[in-house]
Copies of this chain bind each other. A is one copy, B any other.
Amino acid sequence: MKDMVTPTMPVFEDMLAAHDRIAPHIHRTPVLTSAYLNGLSGAELFFKCENFQKAGAFKVRGACNAVFGLDNETARRGVATHSSGNHALSLSYAAGRRGIPCHVVMPRTAPQAKKDAVRGYGGLITECEPSTSSREAVFAEVQAATGAEFVHPYDDPRVIAGQGTCSRELIEQTGGLDAVIAPIGGGGMVSGCCLTLSRLGPGTLIFAAEPEQADDACRSLRAGRIIADDAPETVADGLKVPLKDNTWHFVSRHVTDILTASEQEIVEAMRLAWQRMKIVIEPSSAVALAAILKNPEIFRGKRVGVIVTGGNVDLDRLPWSAG
């Protein structure tokens, strides 16, 4: 599928164009602060609440940029993806806004709640077996039958340019920051931050945060090349995927460091955000707060933007109430 990706790296002007393109379809999400968490961390934290975003996560920015950037003829054939997480919801939402089909290939073993959510946003699900080979085969069939445009969840310049609009808003809303930290899985959001901040905040340090149990991006940065793990397990289930060429391009050049947090630290940070900030954030989002609280010496006295990436959680299965 890789050769479906437009091969050109996005530039700053692509992010500006993306912002104009997607503005009617996304929320300009608020930035919240917490005196309690400032006191706890010793830093001044600015939480960019993408959990309030359409479809519940920042991914709708990249998805809308991809969908609304298509020419009419391509758009008519629809879009397709094989993510089963927030990207599938976001792409379904974006396609629905444009009135075109969105095909989602999902393992038949995926939780019913995830299937329902995709269908709730109008996505058309084709089920595959829970293996990479089946997923790729079924996806190829869907694409051949429909001619739908593949939109990768992160390894796609259109998606990265879209995600970059988030840190542009954050800089405008805060008037400037010493550092920004975002969770890293495949690196779409972090790449967007790099793209935007290299122009709008050249002195702003960019940190990424990752679960200890899925620390492939951290090890990649240390090794100077992409390291991909096979099926890591973590409560932060949006962060299991590896870096790819487009995101590695940005992460390797602009990220100061990648910090990790344990499963327990992630769950505690998640609960802390719910308890003190009164916001529903998903475990993947909590990794950034966990990394700040674990490394106060890095952030103390600084103005720090924290990207709260999403809020899609199963309220019947909260990680702190597991029996």
Contact with B along A300-323 (1 / 0, CB 8 A): 000000000001000110101100
- Provide the bound-state CA to CA distance between A52 and B321, in Å: 24
Within 8 Å by CB of A316, from B280, B316, B321, lies: B321
Does A275 belong to the interface (CB within 8 Å)? yes
Known: A315-B271, A316-B321. A278 touches B30 (CB 8 A): no
Q: B51 near A278 (CB under 8 angstroms)?
A: yes
Q: Which residues of B contact A30 (CB under 8 A)?
A: 30, 32
Q: B32 near A278 (CB under 8 angstroms)?
A: no
Q: B275 near A315 (CB under 8 angstroms)?
A: yes
Known: A32-B52, A52-B32, A321-B321. A315 touches B278 (CB 8 A): no
Does A124 belong to the interface (CB within 8 Å)? no
- Provide the bound-state CA to CA distance between A274 and B316, in Å: 12
Q: How far is the CB of A24 from chain B (nearest CB, A)?
A: 13
Does A171 belong to the interface (CB within 8 Å)? no
Copies of chain A in the complex: 2
Does A277 belong to the interface (CB within 8 Å)? yes
Contact with B along A43-56 (1 / 0, CB 8 A): 00000010110101
- Provide the bound-state CA to CA distance between A111 and B277, in Å: 22
Q: How far is the CB of A224 from chain B (nearest CB, A)?
A: 38
Question: How many A residues have CB within 8 A of the partner chain?
Answer: 22
- Provide the bound-state CA to CA distance between A89 and B22, in Å: 42
Q: B280 near A274 (CB under 8 angstroms)?
A: yes
Q: How far is the CB of A213 from chain B (nearest CB, A)?
A: 24
Contact with B along A267-298 (1 / 0, CB 8 A): 00001001101111100000000000000000
Q: How far is the CB of A170 from chain B (nearest CB, A)?
A: 15
Q: B278 near A311 (CB under 8 angstroms)?
A: yes
Q: Which residues of B contact A271 (CB under 8 A)?
A: 315
- Provide the bound-state CA to CA distance between A147 and B289, in Å: 44
Known: A30-B30, A315-B271. A278 touches B320 (CB 8 A): no
Q: How far is the CB of A125 from chain B (nearest CB, A)?
A: 20
